[in-house]
Amino acid sequence: MKKVKLVDLAKTIRSKNAGVDKLTFDIIFREKEKYELVKKSGALTKENICKIYDISEDRISDFVMFDPAYAFKVTLYRSRPSGSAGEGDIFGSQQYAPLLDIEIPIEE
């Protein structure tokens, strides 16, 4: 089965600060077909997010598939508060990169 990377299907993949103790990730699609393909593939699940970010499931605050916007939203509790000593990304804007290479199986 052929696979395509998430970055090649989604219009937007981003991360951002969601308060002092959370980061949020948005994966948004332009076309309903691409959104449904990813949704049905099972490649974007809580379990997979935990593997990708090497975290336990209790670090996931929210995991939402929002059909009207063709979007996934995942919010994680930060390991350290935003801006605290040793915290490396105050705005959370550099945390999305591991999502880009998620492989989505597609039928040929």
Express each pLDDT in 28-66 by its tens digit: 999 999 999 999 999 999 999 999 999 999 999 999 999
The H or E element spanning position 23 is: strand 22-28
| pTM for the structure as a whole | 0.91
The enclosing H or E element of 75 equals: strand 71-77
Q: Cα–chain-centroid distance for residue 90?
A: 18
Q: What integer best gives the mean pLDDT of the chain?
A: 94
CA–CA gap between residue 32 and residue 79 (Å, rounded): 34
Task: Tell me the CB-side half-sphere exposure of residue 68, using CA atoms within 13 A.
Answer: 0
Q: Answer whether residue 83 shows pLDDT above 90.
A: no
What integer pLDDT is reported at residue 91 of this predicted model? 84
Q: Which CATH architecture has domain 2-80?
A: 2-Layer Sandwich (3.30)
pLDDT bucket at 82, cuts 50 / 70 / 90: confident
Give residue 4's pLDDT: 97
Question: Could you tell me which of 49, 63, 56 has the C-alpha nearest to residue 96?
Answer: 49
